[in-house]
Amino acid sequence: MGNTGWRRWLPGFLGACVSAAILLVASPSGHAVGARTVHLLLAAGKPGDPPEFNFGGYSHGALSLTVPVGARLVVRFVNAGTIPHSLLVLPRTGAQPPIPATAPAFPGASTEHPDLGLAPGREETLSFEASRAGTYEFLCGVPGHALAGMWDTLVVSPDVATPLVAPVGAEKAIEFSVR
């Protein structure tokens, strides 16, 4: 008896541990994404084209971030411009409204007051889970800014395991990293 009793319960215990680990790694949608989090810096109003109305110098959807379903995004949003800007994630509709909706596509995927924006030099950190597959936009919620081109693309896909940034080199402009 003594120290041989553990041999009977060890296989069941290890099986339960593996099952628990799998559940912790899987997203609510059932797609495994690991314990990784996507970190990025989106600086609004950097010199670019169009000037003032861009994120990291990219506008009109020229920047694209693709993440797996269930990925956690931590976005450090900085207003580097000269007028108020905000960040809001909305479903892509194909046309930019003059006044975007203020309810984000995912809980936490918006600066506090997207319609008013942050004052120049201010910053805010957003954290949200990209829980549903689809094509979305990072856009400025201040009226007229998205219409002026201040939007880029977020794709949430069940078909990727590793987050991707396009075009090549854009990952440096937005300080993209995966941890």
| pTM recorded for the entire structure | 0.78
Domain count, the chain: 1
CA-closest candidate to residue 140, choices 100, 168, 178: 100
Residue with token string 């194909």: 94
16-57 pLDDT tens trace = 332 222 222 333 333 334 447 999 999 999 876 668 999 999
* 28 located within any domain: no
In a domain, 17, yes or no: no
- Rounded to an integer, the average pLDDT of 83-96 is 94
The confidence band for 2, taking pLDDT boundaries of 50, 70 and 90, is low
Output the domain CATH number for residue 98.
2.60.40.420
**136 φψ region: left (φ > 0), alpha (ψ -120 to 50), beta (else):** beta
44, part of any domain:
yes
Does 104 fall in a domain? Answer: yes
Domain span at residue 139 reads 34-178
Residue 37 CA to residue 127 CA, distance in Å, equals 10
In a domain, 63, yes or no: yes
pLDDT at 54: 94
Within-domain flag for 24: no
Domain contains 103: yes
Find, among 69, 73, 91, the residue nearest to 160 by Cα: 69
What pLDDT sits at residue 95?
87
